[in-house]
Amino acid sequence: MGALRRLYKVAVEYAGIASRIASEGSLDDVVRWLALLHALQVQAQASLDLVARLSSLLGHTPSTPVEAIEALLLNKLITREEAAFLRRVVGFRNIVVHEYTAGSREIVETIVSERDHIKLAKLVEKYSRRPRKGD
């Protein structure tokens, strides 16, 4: 299985896990809250890894996820709206990884209520289906 497809499968799997956790009970339970946060973090990282991999397959050598997003935008593989959404994913991932759970409660509640984790899975799906040389 190619790298793009493998990363897509992780992104979709963790979107489903996040949906299940969010729908099964109160997020006031710290274990449930941390499980949801972790699922969203894994999904975000797999999605950003997919974007970086795709950018690299296009001949770019991004040193950051934002540079990879810009490469996809430059190559017209994503729209400006999709690029803005992916930049928000980068911001979320950075908050979770570098600031742990500080300030992330409201962000996570927004992600879940607006179903952004599902939107992210659908966005990366279109890139995982295209076979690419070297994938």
pLDDT for 83: 96
pLDDT for 129: 66
Query: Which residue ranges make up each domain of the chain?
Result: 3-127
Predicted structure pTM score: 0.88
| pLDDT tens, residue by residue, 88-123 | 999 999 888 877 655 577 788 888 888 999 999 999
The residues, ordered by sequence, that sit 6+ positions from 43 with a Cβ below 8 Å of its Cβ are 10, 11, 14, 15, 18, 117, 120, 121
Please answer whether residues 39 and 21 qualify as being in contact, where contact means their C-beta atoms are separated by less than 8 angstroms: yes
- Torsion over CA of 33, 123, 78 and 131, rounded to 10 degrees? 130
Name the H helices within the chain: 3-24, 30-57, 65-74, 80-99, 104-113, 116-128
Backbone φ and ψ of 20, nearest 5°: -65, -45
Residue with the bigger pLDDT between 135 and 73: it is: 73
- The correct answer on CATH 1.20.120.580 for the domain covering 3-127 is yes
Residue 21 amino acid letter: I
